[in-house]
Every structure is written in C-alpha cells, then in structure tokens.
Chain A
Amino acid sequence: MVDSKVKQLLLALRAGKVTFAYPFEPRPSEPGFRGRVVVDTDKCTGCGGCADVCPTRCIRIIDVSPTYRIIRRYLERCIHCGRCEDVCRYGAVRLDLEYEIATTDKRDLFIEQHLFMGSCSRCGRCYVPPTPLDRLMVVGFRKDEEV
C-alpha cells in the first residue's frame, strides 16, 4: 500500500511538467498534416472530380452556361479528409499545415470560384473524351441546380 503510493509519487515526479504554453508559443503541425484547404484557381480546370468524391458534399457545382461554371466550397462542412487533394490531377487543391482556422463567421470559410470553360463544340463538355471525369471513373456526378 505505502510502497505503491511511493512508486506513484516517483512516477509523477519523473514525468515533470508536460503542458505546453500554447497559444502563447507556436505549435507548428508536422508535414503530412491535413489542415486548411487551399485552392489554386490558376491550376483548376473545373473538372469537378473533387465535388464528386467529397463525402460531406461541401463542394457544389453550378453550370450557368456551357462555358461558365461556378464552384462553391462551403468549407465549414469540410472534414479535412483530403480526398479532393487525392483526386485532383492538376494539383489545384491542397491541404496545408495551418490548423488555426476556427472562426465565428462561416463566410470566412467559403470559397467561390468562377471558371470560363472552353467547351467542346461537339459534345458541350470541356475536353475530348476521355474527359477528366471519365478518367476518374465517377458515377453519379452531382450538380447543384440553384444558381
């Protein structure tokens, strides 16, 4: 009984102080962390692969006309699984190491992207087949009807 109490005391003393001073000192995350979603609009071709694989459906696609596409990302619903980063063949979506993205206004987490698409005059889609969508072998491609 007493013996075990002494052991407990020693164990606690040896551990010492383990609490970090965060947020008063920075705690950078390690490489490979799935943090904030960053979109490089120059690289995006508007294929919509990310919208198709997103488990929370936080990426919505609105086709205003065959040459004009809007991609909306409601990132307050994002679970940071990184599937969009996986499927993007052009490296347009990336999850960086930033994790301090909490906000009181969900509009801070909203990204809207306007794409002017060069569509194929034969089929109306943007590329000759197989299109990036076909290459992703996606089924049940989703569109948001509202504009």
Chain B
Amino acid sequence: MVTIERSTEQINQVVSALKERIGDKVLGVEQPTPHRLYVTVAPEAVVAAADALFNGLGARYLISAGVDKRPLNGGFEVLHFFAFDQANVRCALVIPLKGDPPRIPSITPLIPGAGWAEREFKDLLGIIPEGHPDPRPLVLPDGFPEGLYPLRKDYPYDYKPPLDRSKTFPFKEPPEGTTVVTVGPFFPVLEEPSQWRVFLDGEVVVGCDYRGFYNHRAIEKLGDSALTYNQIPMLAERICGICGCVHSTSYCQAVEEAAGIEVPLRAKVIRTLILELERVHSHLLWLGLACHILGFDYVFMQSWRIREPVMWLAEYLTGNRKHFAINLVGGVRRDIVKEQHPRILEVMDKVERETKELADTLLNDMPLLARLKGTGIFTPEEVRLTGAVGPTARGSGVPIDARKDHPYAAYDLVEFDVVTHDGCDNLARTLVRVGEIFESIKIIRQCVKLLQELPEGDLMAELPEEIPPYRHGMHAVEAPRGEVFHYVLTGENNRPYRWRVRAPSYQNIQAVPVMFKPGTTIADVPITLGSVDPCFSCTERMEIVDVKSGEMKVLTEQELYQLSRQKTKELREKNTQ
C-alpha cells in the first residue's frame, strides 16, 4: 500500500524535475488531491517536459486529450496524461494553445503510444501535431469536409455533413514483392469493425497497416453536449458490450473526484464486487473464444457453460445480465442484501471448481500449448513504449494493475495478488487471464464478507446542489482487458465540459503490429490479435490481394479458421508421432 507521503514525494520530484528541465516554461502547478498533479507548460516545451517525465522519471504514458476552450478563454488546450504506478500518482501536462488552427509539437517520435491520441485530436479538434510521423486521418470517415471539426463546441452534436464519396483512405504502400492480406473492415477477431492489411512474404508476416473507427459513435460529444451527469453512466456502460460497468464506474469516480464527493463505503464494496463479477465472466468468455480460434471447440463450450451462472448471478444482483446500470454519480442504485449473499458464494464455489478442472486439462494439452507458446512476443520495453495495459502488459512481466497501484472503490480493503507472467507470448497472456479468474473469485468472497459487516442501506452520497464547473477529475478502473481511463472537465448546465474516454484496446491495438515479430505466419495472426482483446465477433470475410497480378481472392470466415486450425492439426499429428 502506497502512502500519501510517497505520493507527495513523487509529486515534488516531478515538479522539480520539470522546473529544472524547462525552467520558466512551467506556467502553473495545480494539485487538487494528494494523488493528482496538473502542470501547465508552454507549447514549445512540451516535448522536453514529456521526455523528462517519460524517460527521466519512468512515467507511463496514458493518453492525450484536446479541449476546445474558445468559449472560455479563446484558445484550445491539450492534456497529456502520465501515471507513476509505484507512487499512486497521475499527472497531466496541460498545454494552452492559441491561434487557429492551433499547433503543438508532436510527442509521438518520443512516445510511440501517443500516435493515435494525437491523430485523434487533429481529426476532431483541428489541433495540428507538428512532426507527427504518421499524420493520416484516424477517426473521421473518408471524404469528411475539410475544416470541420466535430468535437469543437460550435459543431452541433446532431449535425451530419455531406461526405465526398470520391475520397479514399491513404493506406500504407506494401513493401516490394509482398502479398497483402486484408482482414476486415469487419474484423474476425476483435469486436469492432476494423481493417488490418497484413503484408506477407510467402506465409511470413513482414508488416501491417491498420484502419479503424468505422463505427465511431461520438459518445464523448454526446456526453458534453446532450446528456446530463447522471444520464452519462448509462451511455458509458454501452461503450463496451463486455466490460460496461468499468466505464460507468470510472466515469462516476472521475466526476466524484472533480466534485469532491465521498462515496459511502458500502457503495464502494458493491462496485468492487460487480467489477470483479464482470472480470470473471469476461475472462471465461475470452478463454473460450481464444480456444475456438485455435480449433479447441471443446474448451469454447465448456468455458461458456461455466460462465453462464455468473451471468445469471449478475442478473439476480443488478436486474440485467449485462448492462447493470448500477452506478450513478455519488454511489450505487441497488443494495446487495443478506439474502443474496449465499447465492453469490455458491456460484463462486462452483465457478472456481469448474474453472480449475478446465484449466488443468487445458494447460496439459500439448498442441494447444505449442500454438500459444512463442507466438506474439511482446517485450517489457515494448510495453513501455506502446503504453499497453492489462493482461497484455502483465503477460510480459510488467506488474501494472490499477487496482493495486491506484486503489479505487474498495480495493484497498481486500487482499489479492497481481498475476504476472514472464513468458511475453500468447501463452503468458492466457495464463495471466486464467490466474486472474481465481484472484477475482477471492476478491468477491472478501467483498461478501465486508457487506455482511457493514450496515445495510447507505448507498448514495449526499450530492451538492450543483457540481462546481471547470474542475478536473481523472480516474481509471482496471477492466478485464486493461486500464480504462476517464478524464472529466466539469462544466455548466449539469453536464461535463469535456469527457475523454480511453478504453484499454486503444493502446493495446497499437501494440499489435509490434507483436508480429519476424517469422510470424498468417496462421498465427488470429490468435495473436486475439490474445490482446477478448472479443471475436463480427466475422465477415477477408480478402487476399496478390500485389503482382492484382488478382483478388476472398477468404470466408470458414477458410480463415481453416488456416488457423490446420496448423493445430499438423502440430497434433507431429506430437503423437
């Protein structure tokens, strides 16, 4: 457990390091809580400041956010967020910008993980990151009118401009003599519509290109222009179909931090319990789907069978099997009463026993291990550069876990271990997830015990008449796939002025190209992508374009699975000989 002294020491260190490095370019320091730091720096010093934090002090890059502050002070603002995981400190570099279009030196050459975030504020706010190595559009659809920026305050949230259909996306040129395999636009492994172009030399992957955001839903825009504080949790929950509760919890915590609301302990324990329930079902779902890709449908069926009682339990506790709608700013909506406790424990016992049996058979299966071991190598240094989070990072032996590093809800009251593995490959990431199921069950049992001790009924904090405007709040929750980060700048009219969401996949998908190490074959592509993110729906089709002949071939879902499963079969035969 990190003490407040340690956090204060870290914050002092950060401030003095920045002052030493960039001197009077530090325009202001704000420290709203002992664990948060906002440093305003001049635009020209941003790269030096980011370097001092990222390389000098070993901070982890979180995300960047752009804010249109023209109605308030006539300019724009960019925030780069960093975390100091050993000291429970999160820090933001606030960069005020003038002029239109505003310009800011890019930090992507220094921190590759910032690539998307900078492209995003370029698309949505028109803030130009100067010196960005890959300034192609990211979020906006093809042919979106130039000079229109949807996240600016003068852009109505329901305006739909006409698109110029003649424009196409500038994909990367494939290297000479390679074949391009297009996966998508509806991606077979991840849950989102996204397009990967994998460059192949024979069967071996030599590079790839990504295009995503086909289904951008403008959730941040809705949050800061149409909805009110207590309507947003229901929308936040729908950011992800599998781990929704993490988003609403993270959002509520960010607002509570900005407004200085102290949530009752019982509500915190209930949040913890629901979050862990979500992790158990999400990891079981992932385990099933990962094995399904590899052709182990037996595991797919069994792990989903084990998962189903968890879904029923969630429905019993919250009223819905997936969208729990349990969080509001200030607390939770439903109590978990004494009569419900025995059933929670009963389901947990059953899930623990059955998962143990399944994991036991699974991890002794030689062909399965051979498929997972040694593929998708991801080193700890690459984790740092790309900003990958969650089991993806922990599978490379990097022990970052927001539950331990930045305790929220009731995680400081329960005991659990952060599961890490040094394998750095697909197997390591699988083992981390299996291990986490048992840790989650452990936490749920402790939560039930805490609920038994606490008096029933105290669920909502007394809310202030109005949430004070223009205050910062940032909070993160450890989702099944990694750290979910929400930043809220409170505003007037009972809604946030700016709400920034970073889902874990935002960083993890950026890490995928790094995982395609020399020697990776096309059959390993689905599982490597799958090892990052546990959703594999949306299978539509894939397309093979032979660069030399221009001939096009369409691979169906079946053929893609065929490729992946053929390799398993070959391995199995080799093994039995």
Binding site for B on A (CB under 8 A): 1, 3-5, 7-8, 11-12, 15, 18, 29-30, 32-34, 53-56, 79-83, 86, 95, 137, 139-140
Residues of B within 8 A of A34 (CB): 319-320, 325
Residues of A within 8 A of B238 (CB): 79
Contact across chains for A4 and B493 when beta carbons are under 8 A apart: no
Contact across chains for A79 and B231 when beta carbons are under 8 A apart: no
A-B contact pairs, 20 of them (CB 8 A): A1-B365, A1-B366, A3-B364, A4-B362, A7-B360, A7-B364, A8-B361, A12-B301, A15-B305, A18-B305, A18-B308, A33-B319, A34-B319, A53-B230, A55-B232, A79-B234, A79-B323, A83-B230, A83-B234, A137-B463
Candidates B364, B366, B494; contact of A139 at CB < 8 Å:
B494
- Against A, the Cβ 8 Å flags (1 = close, 0 = not) of B313-329 are 00111111001010000
Residues of A within 8 A of B305 (CB): 15, 18
Candidates A15, A54, A80; contact of B320 at CB < 8 Å:
A80
Residues of A within 8 A of B317 (CB): 32
Candidates B298, B334, B466, B575; contact of A1 at CB < 8 Å:
B575
Residues of B within 8 A of A1 (CB): 364-366, 575-576
- Report how far A79 CA is from B320 CA in the complex, Å: 11
Given contacts A11-B357, A12-B298, A32-B319, 16 further A-B contacts (CB under 8 A): A4-B364, A4-B366, A5-B365, A7-B357, A8-B361, A12-B301, A18-B308, A33-B320, A53-B230, A54-B231, A56-B234, A79-B325, A80-B325, A82-B325, A83-B230, A137-B465
* B333 CB-CB contact with A under 8 Å: yes
- Against A, the Cβ 8 Å flags (1 = close, 0 = not) of B154-179 are 00000000000000000000000000
- Report how far A95 CA is from B319 CA in the complex, Å: 10
Residues of A within 8 A of B493 (CB): 139-140
Which bucket holds chain B's interface residue count?
35 or more
* B358 CB-CB contact with A under 8 Å: yes
* B556 CB-CB contact with A under 8 Å: no
* B302 CB-CB contact with A under 8 Å: yes
Q: Taking chain A's interface residues, is the majority helix, strand, or loop, or is none over half, making it mixed?
A: loop
* B227 CB-CB contact with A under 8 Å: yes
Contact across chains for A30 and B316 when beta carbons are under 8 A apart: yes
Contact across chains for A4 and B315 when beta carbons are under 8 A apart: no
With A7-B361, A33-B320 as given contacts, are A55 and B234 in contact (CB-CB < 8 Å)?
A: yes
Question: Counting chain B CB atoms within 10 Å of each CB, which of A1, A55, A140 scores highest?
Answer: A55
* B522 CB-CB contact with A under 8 Å: no
Contact across chains for A12 and B302 when beta carbons are under 8 A apart: yes
Lowest 10 A-B CB distances belong to which pairs? A55-B231, A55-B234, A4-B364, A34-B319, A81-B325, A139-B494, A7-B361, A8-B361, A4-B365, A81-B234
- Against A, the Cβ 8 Å flags (1 = close, 0 = not) of B346-379 are 0000000000011011101110000000000000
Residues of B within 8 A of A86 (CB): 333
Contact across chains for B364 and A30 when beta carbons are under 8 A apart: no
Residues of A within 8 A of B235 (CB): 55
Residues of A within 8 A of B362 (CB): 4
* B228 CB-CB contact with A under 8 Å: yes
Candidates B302, B315, B361; contact of A30 at CB < 8 Å:
B315
- Report how far A139 CA is from B231 CA in the complex, Å: 12
Closest to B366 in A: A1
Contact across chains for B319 and A82 when beta carbons are under 8 A apart: yes
- Report how far A82 CA is from B318 CA in the complex, Å: 11
Residues of A within 8 A of B358 (CB): 11
With A1-B365, A3-B364, A80-B320 as given contacts, are A139 and B325 in contact (CB-CB < 8 Å)?
A: no
- Report how far A79 CA is from B360 CA in the complex, Å: 40
Contact across chains for A53 and B231 when beta carbons are under 8 A apart: yes
Contact across chains for A33 and B315 when beta carbons are under 8 A apart: yes
Q: How far is the CB of B374 from chain A (nearest CB, A)?
A: 19
- Report how far A6 CA is from B576 CA in the complex, Å: 15
- Report how far A140 CA is from B234 CA in the complex, Å: 18
With A15-B305, A86-B333, A137-B465 as given contacts, are A55 and B361 in contact (CB-CB < 8 Å)?
A: no
Residues of B within 8 A of A30 (CB): 315-316
Question: Counting chain B CB atoms within 10 Å of each CB, which of A3, A56, A83 scores highest?
Answer: A83
Contact across chains for A32 and B316 when beta carbons are under 8 A apart: yes
- Report how far A11 CA is from B358 CA in the complex, Å: 8
Residues of B within 8 A of A15 (CB): 302, 305
Residues of B within 8 A of A83 (CB): 230, 234, 325
Candidates B320, B361, B463; contact of A11 at CB < 8 Å:
B361
Closest to A139 in B: B494
Residues of A within 8 A of B465 (CB): 137
Closest to B319 in A: A34
Residues of B within 8 A of A4 (CB): 361-362, 364-366
- Report how far A79 CA is from B233 CA in the complex, Å: 12
Question: Counting chain B CB atoms within 10 Å of each CB, which of A1, A7, A32, A81 scores highest?
Answer: A81
Closest to B238 in A: A79
Question: Counting chain B CB atoms within 10 Å of each CB, which of A5, A11, A18, A137 scores highest?
Answer: A11
- Report how far A54 CA is from B234 CA in the complex, Å: 10
- Report how far A55 CA is from B248 CA in the complex, Å: 13
Q: How far is the CB of A138 from chain B (nearest CB, A)?
A: 8
- Report how far A86 CA is from B209 CA in the complex, Å: 48
Q: How far is the CB of A13 from chain B (nearest CB, A)?
A: 11
Residues of A within 8 A of B232 (CB): 55
Residues of B within 8 A of A7 (CB): 357, 360-361, 364
Contact across chains for A11 and B302 when beta carbons are under 8 A apart: yes
- Report how far A3 CA is from B550 CA in the complex, Å: 49
Residues of B within 8 A of A55 (CB): 227, 231-232, 234-235
- Report how far A34 CA is from B463 CA in the complex, Å: 26
Contact across chains for B298 and A8 when beta carbons are under 8 A apart: yes
Residues of B within 8 A of A54 (CB): 231
- Report how far A111 CA is from B230 CA in the complex, Å: 24
Q: How far is the CB of B493 from chain A (nearest CB, A)?
A: 6
Residues of B within 8 A of A82 (CB): 319, 325, 333
Residues of B within 8 A of A3 (CB): 364
Closest to A6 in B: B361
- Report how far A72 CA is from B396 CA in the complex, Å: 54
